[in-house]
Amino acid sequence: MKIIFLVFAFTFTLFAAHIDEFASNMGYHRDYKSALSQAKKEDKVIMLVLVGDYCPWCRKFERKTLKRAKVAINIQNNFIPVIVDKYLDKGKYPKKYFSQVVPTVYFIEPKKEEQIFESLGYIKRNEYQELLNGVTKTYKGMK
């Protein structure tokens, strides 16, 4: 029984470490409140990426879309990105942004914390680049 518990605990630690490593390498926040504060200061949209530690589509989305140079540059220039695990980080982001589907990305206007757009599931990099440009254009039109 102790061995099963240790394996289970070790597995959760590995998944949390993966998200922390991704966030650190890509310049993403791990804390919604700090992202919100920065978004208000810089007048940028929050890009809240909701993932699951068990989700192979989340890893693929991170690897094949979010880490790609053009997408990563667009995100850093126009958004305040934050990544959270939907279960492990529960309570560390607003409940209204909980989703059954992962990956889910919420684009949030910082002043009123209202959702501008939501994307569900894995999206290829070219399509995601277009989505990012559309969200940026929508946000600028809201001002």
**Sorting pLDDT into bands at 50, 70 and 90, what band is 143?**
confident
Q: What are the pLDDT digits (tens) for 61-96?
A: 999 999 999 999 999 999 999 999 999 999 999 999
Q: Where are the domains of the chain?
A: 2-142
Summarize the confidence of residues 47-60 as an average pLDDT. 96
pLDDT greater than 60 at residue 9: no
**Sorting pLDDT into bands at 50, 70 and 90, what band is 13?**
very low
* Right CATH for 2-142 from 3.30.450.40, 3.40.50.620, 3.40.30.10, 3.30.2320.50: 3.40.30.10
pTM of the model: 0.87
Q: pLDDT > 70: what percent of the chain? A: 89
Give phi and psi for 116, each to the nearest 5.
-90, -45
pLDDT greater than 50 at residue 102: yes
Residue 84 to residue 50: CA distance in whole angstroms? 5
